Structure 1
Amino acid sequence: MPDLQYVNQIVKEVMRWRPVITLGIPHANTAANSYDGYYIPKDSIVYGNIWNMHHDSSHYKNADDFVPERYDGFTKSAFDRDHYVFGWGRRICAGMHLAERSVLSVAASVPWAFDIVPAKDAQGRDINVSADLASAYHHGVVGSPKPFPVQFKVRSEKRRRVIEASFKNAQST
């Protein structure tokens, strides 16, 4: 991954721009506290608003825009706290390093193997894919994109053989 900095930047920006878990996992504070003028009693259940943190315009210029370059020069692991997708505190995701490396591996492998092109309608015209937040996503505590039409085309016969061999190997283990 050190040689694939832009892939790393894209993954970090996707995690920031469209976090899967928008409110995080509930936390209980162990002592009374005050935050921004609000009193929070001991043992309160607190949700961290990951969506808001990741779209805070005082921290992220043009926060609603997809801009992987905002991570240029800062592509260390998620443990270095450039986003909160994996939580924080004592409840931080124990598997975040494996999860992050798995996502990076897929993000690097898919474009190596496939050209991703627009699907075609009945008249052979490209079907546009939208990233519009209001219409292209399922909303809730867990957010996800709605199905969208694209085609995956293997980039070469040599890559097809590598994919098929990898698939066969995965089935046998």
Structure 2
Amino acid sequence: MSTHPPQLSPTELAAYFAFTEVSSLLRHAVEQQLREVGKLSYVQFQLLARLGDAPGGSQRMTDLADGVVYSRSGLTYQAQSLEERGLVTRAPSPEDERSTIVAITAEGRAVLQKVFPGHIEAVRDLLIDPLAEEDVEVLARVMTQVSEHLRANPPRSAGRRKPKAE
């Protein structure tokens, strides 16, 4: 009995290559805009944006790492860089001193306000505008479905931390 390696159909392969190309081109353009306008890396922008949307403007470092799908050690470095610029603060959690709470500062919010218009313009111009409204709805549904599938068995940096038993 011969075993054949797994294969992708021509349509599946085309979808995969189109996805990787779009992802790379879009990320490059967005990163360039973030660097030019806010002197931010993509990960730093994600951190600030998540903190800006979080209740009270703060989150535990592990929750941020899970949300941005970044290693905890790499995220510590990025948060330190943002803290040195005065865009975030870091402090031990009042509930668990082993956890670190990261909070966005007024300066961090100002940088977000500065980069958001160009960020939104780049995303709209490069990703949204070429599509019909119903295609955007399909894209959102499909990417959400794939994201949920990937998060069901994620790498450690992308996994949600389970609460410790008390």
What's the TM-score once normalised by structure 1's chain length?
0.25
Q: Which has the higher strand share?
A: 1
The answer to which structure has the higher helix fraction is: 2
Please tell me whether Structure 1 or Structure 2 has the larger radius of gyration of its CA atoms: 1
Give the structure-2-normalised TM-score: 0.26
